[in-house]
Amino acid sequence: MTDADVIIVGNGPVGATLSVLLGRRGWRVAVLERRPRPYRLPRATSFDGETARLLAATGIGPDLGRITEPAGGYQWQSAAGEALLDIAFTTAGPYGWPDANTMHQPALEELIAARADALPEVTVLRGHEVVDITDGDPHVEVAVAGPDGAARTLTARWVVGCDGANSFVRDRLDVPVTDLGFSYEWLLCDVELREPREFVPTNVQICDPARPTTLVGSGPGRRRWEFMRLPDESAAELNREETAWRLLAPFDVTPGNAVLLRSTTYIFQARWAERWRVGHVLLAGDAAHLMPPFAGQGMCSGIRDAVNLAWKLDLALGGSAPESLLDSYAEERRAQAREAILASVQLGRVICVTDAEAAAERDATVLAGRRGKPPTRPEPAKALATGLLHRRPGAAAAEPPAGEVVPQGRVRRRGASGLFDDVVGRGFVLLTADDPRTVLDAERRAFLDGLGARVVRLLPPGSAPDEHAVDEAAPDEGVVDEDGVYLPYLARFSATSLLVRPDYHVFGAASGPAATADLVDDLRGRLRAAAPTG
């Protein structure tokens, strides 16, 4: 026996999310957090629609609207106010949530903490600092110094380091880190406005060589301004409250109409850990990757880590897959995080220009290419290119839609109407336009049942689902595709079935009952082998 099935080091949004996802699956989780009390200041200020969907899997979906505000757009502007980049967000994004959601991070963490508190499987130990980790047989030992300095040792089958940029877990494992050496110092000013104000667009990046500046929403009644330190400016000079008010004044933000919650300098970094699994110890969140803020993907990437890791730990702990399945976590998420970091650096190289001549050349080039064009839509969530994905026999790589994040629309089932995840449920899902009886025999159905998978028959809008029940003893009612999201998605790939993973990435698609049976067989074979492909 161990003290826990999983020990999580760090109780920020990534560690807390992972603890709830594992606790909801019935696993005993101990969370070790060195801070005696929750951190009350914001760090991240927003998350995208895919991340909102992932966070909703913890059970906080109904409360997200209370602590967030949808962003209306994101614009890069020249010093003269011309739009260099213009992205329009919508509240009806492809994943069932607004494209961009601004938030006050402590409020988000409170929601997740409340879910953890309600789970008897989850124990959060505050004021407990990890001082050593030993991966032995048959468990991992974690040495901890408690609030009073008393030493104790906890044991678990797995340990996950979610302990931030200065991760003790990563350092203890002696994991090498790739650092791109791209960093600038910025003054961060969190502001609470005394009166409601509308900012259009919600998020703005002012690409002014005299002072690159960022303006973003950070939840109801709050905003953040960030000002880049100039080459001839000292950090001490910038990091003064009077400097913050001076820089905020041109935006009509003054002590008379706003409260300065915090002003502090920070230096962003661009780096990733080369190994995310060492034996039975794993890394996630900032312990595994750090990126510049310009794409808003720092916390989002950490939440993706947690969700990817949760379902794979669940299968490994339950014996449904070998421990080597966790290698696919590192393979998939490291590749995605690296891509996000490189994209953020590329954006930063455009924004952090303080040479007036270089900025003028940049502006002229960009404006020549986009004048007269309407605002663009945000790019879809990044697809997986490698990892636990379906491949046709002999194929060198997975083919779309394998790896894509499946969209989410409203469906109707058993008289209930709502978002697919809420109406049908989460976990593995087999979506099919065919009669499930022609797709699955008893053995394949038993395999999917063992995974807790949902088998869903898709029906076109206007159908009556009860008329399509296929088994009176255990009816597989059809699910009406009310928004017309799923059937057109299948048609786009000439498919009749879609097998979706618990993190909403498509495992693979198939056309016809025989190919769908092969798709299910391939998932079973890959889970049993669980070997990385990269």
Q: Are the beta carbons of 293 and 346 closer than 8 angstroms? A: no
The pLDDT tens digits of the residues spanning 439-491 come to: 899 999 999 999 999 999 999 998 876 554 544 334 456 899 999 999 999 99
What CA–CA distance (Å, rounded) separates 377 from 42?
27
Q: Is residue 360 over pLDDT 60? A: yes
pLDDT at position 532 is 53
Does position 175 have pLDDT exceeding 60, yes or no? yes
Q: Which two tokens stand for residue 472?
A: 């009176």
Angle at 436 between CA 435 and CA 439, to 5 degrees: 100
Q: Please give the pLDDT value at position 472.
A: 39
As a three-state string, the secondary structure of 356-416 is HHHHHHHHHHHHHHHCCCCCECCCCCCCCCCCCCCCCCCCCCCCCCCCCECCCCEEEECCE
Residue 35: what residue type?
R
Which pLDDT score is estimated for 42?
Answer: 86
**CATH 3.40.30.10 residue spans of the chain:** 410-529
pLDDT in tens, 216-228: 999 999 999 999 9
Percentage of the residues of the chain whose pLDDT score is greater than 70: 97
Tell me what pLDDT residue 268 has: 94
Q: What is the mean pLDDT of residues 52-81?
A: 97
The whole-number average pLDDT for the span 321-334 is 96
pLDDT of amino acid 477: 66
Residues of the chain with CATH 3.50.50.60: 4-42+105-176+274-350
pTM of the model: 0.96
Q: Is the pLDDT of residue 253 over 50?
A: yes
Classified as helix, coil or strand, 329 is helix
Residues 47-59, mean pLDDT to the nearest whole number:
98
Confidence of residue 369 (pLDDT cuts 50, 70, 90): confident
Superfamily of domain 66-103+184-267+352-381: D-Amino Acid Oxidase, subunit A, domain 2 (3.30.9.10)
The enclosing H or E element of 318 equals: helix 298-318
Indicate whether 377 pLDDT > 80.
Answer: yes
Summarised one tens digit per residue, pLDDT across range 304-316 is 999 999 999 999 9
- Mean pLDDT for 350-366 is 96
User: Which tens digit of pLDDT belongs to each residue from 91-100?
Assistant: 999 999 999 9
3-state secondary structure of 351: helix
From-to residues of CATH 3.30.9.10 in the chain: 66-103+184-267+352-381
- CATH class of residue range 4-42+105-176+274-350: alpha beta
Q: Which CATH superfamily is domain 410-529 in?
A: Glutaredoxin (3.40.30.10)
Predicted confidence at residue 5, as pLDDT, reads 98
pLDDT for res 465 = 61
